[in-house]
């Protein structure tokens, strides 16, 4: 209750973590002792607990997402004792919807801390390395010449996310419907290598391949049918899936007509896309970015 709670429970998060030097933090502790007449207690190593629903670090708690992103770090997660205070502060900022600024010398673990938290909570993290030459159009968007491949590629990424999340929720669930046909998973796994190899090599002949695009439409339709039967708790809706299927169909017609030359369109930047999807963004070296 408020009458029995200690006044120093948020001292570290609200004040100490905002001070960059050890001397400033000692001064804050001294002022607290002078005002309240009591020496503040700051745990050297805040307790860390993690379960299926929540991540708890000291006095901070944040919900974990059921679906883990497909692109996660291959390196082991290391939660060192010295990271716990900073991790607790970052969790508080995320919980309150605040912009979190991590300050420290190079290679001090700032980026690793955010990556660790994103993987522990199942949030997708987008990283951008900024410099004095960084243009805001790279983050917010700009007008570019119309490219049907760009639309198809972004749609493929979305459908891959839909399929991964659907399969994760289906196989992790307590009840499974034996009548649900998951053959589309096998079809997608067979189709995916050609997509990735084409993107890496720079050859996009599959864009005009009717068989390839028809397979994508077929897979998306099967996902739609299965979701209509199961009603799994997913982050995307059936309407979004239908929109992705329509985009693929339109790309097929556009490639056949070759009528997209000379057109320009507004391409949304990565920062806006992440904000729309509720995903995390890490701006590395933000102090080097042009203030304008």
Q: What is the pLDDT of residue 177?
A: 64
Q: What is the pLDDT of residue 225?
A: 87
Kindly report the number of other CB atoms within 10 A of residue 219's CB atom: 21
Kindly report the number of other CB atoms within 10 A of residue 95's CB atom: 12
Euclidean distance between CA atoms 204 and 222, whole angstroms: 25
Q: What is the pLDDT of residue 61?
A: 92
Per-domain residue ranges of the chain? 147-261
Per the CB < 8 A criterion, the answer to whether 121 and 60 are in contact is no
Question: At 240, which helix (H) or strand (E)?
Answer: helix 238-257
Euclidean distance between CA atoms 102 and 104, whole angstroms: 7
How far are the Cα atoms of 49, 190, 235, 276 from residue 156, in angstroms, in the given order?
37, 14, 17, 18
Euclidean distance between CA atoms 213 and 31, whole angstroms: 67
Q: What is the pLDDT of residue 43?
A: 80
**Residue 90, Cβ density class (10 Å: 0-12 exposed, 13-18 middle, ≥19 buried):** buried
Q: What is the pLDDT of residue 164?
A: 80
* Phi and psi torsions of 268, nearest 5°: -70, 135
Q: What is the pLDDT of residue 62?
A: 93
Helix, strand, or coil (residue 92): helix
Per-residue pLDDT of the chain (292 residues; tens, 9 = 90+): 344 456 777 788 788 888 888 899 899 999 999 988 888 888 878 889 998 889 999 888 999 886 665 555 566 777 888 888 889 989 999 988 888 989 888 888 899 999 999 989 988 899 999 888 888 888 888 888 877 777 777 887 788 888 888 887 777 766 566 656 667 777 777 776 655 544 433 444 455 566 777 887 888 888 888 888 888 888 788 898 888 888 877 776 666 555 556 788 888 888 998 888 888 999 998 888 777 6
Euclidean distance between CA atoms 219 and 188, whole angstroms: 7
Q: What is 123-192 written as a DSSP string?
A: --EEEEE--TT--THHHHEEEEE--HHHHHHHHHHHHHHHHHHHHHHHHHSS---TT---HHHHHHHHHH
Euclidean distance between CA atoms 291 and 279, whole angstroms: 24
Question: At 57, which helix (H) or strand (E)?
Answer: strand 54-57
């Amino acid at each position: 209750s408020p009458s029995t709670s200690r006044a120093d429970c948020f001292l570290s998060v609200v004040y100490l973590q905002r001070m960059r030097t050890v001397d400033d933090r000692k001064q804050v502790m001294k002022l607290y002792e002078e005002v309240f007449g009591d020496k503040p207690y700051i745990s050297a190593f805040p307790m860390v607990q993690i379960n299926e629903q929540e991540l708890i670090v000291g006095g901070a708690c944040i919900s974990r997402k059921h679906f883990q992103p497909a692109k996660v770090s291959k390196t082991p997660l290391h939660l060192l004792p010295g990271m716990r205070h900073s991790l607790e502060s970052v969790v508080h900022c995320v919980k309150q919807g605040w912009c979190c600024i991590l300050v420290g010398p190079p290679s001090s673990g700032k980026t690793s801390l955010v990556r660790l938290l994103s993987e522990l909570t199942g949030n997708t993290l987008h990283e951008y390395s900024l410099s004095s030459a960084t243009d805001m159009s790279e983050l917010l968007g700009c007008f570019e010449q119309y490219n049907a491949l760009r639309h198809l590629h972004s749609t493929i990424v979305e459908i891959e996310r839909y399929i991964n999340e659907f399969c994760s929720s289906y196989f992790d669930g307590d009840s499974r419907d034996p009548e649900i046909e998951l053959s589309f998973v096998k079809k997608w796994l067979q189709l995916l290598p050609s997509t990735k190899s084409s993107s890496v090599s720079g050859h996009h002949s599959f864009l005009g391949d009717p068989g390839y695009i028809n397979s994508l439409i077929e897979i998306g339709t099967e996902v739609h049918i299965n979701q209509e039967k199961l009603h799994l708790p997913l982050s995307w809706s059936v309407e979004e899936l239908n929109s992705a299927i329509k985009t693929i169909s339109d790309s097929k017609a556009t490639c056949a007509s070759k009528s997209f030359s000379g057109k320009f369109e507004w391409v949304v930047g990565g920062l806006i896309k992440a904000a729309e999807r509720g995903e995390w963004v890490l701006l590395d070296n933000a102090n080097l970015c042009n203030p304008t």
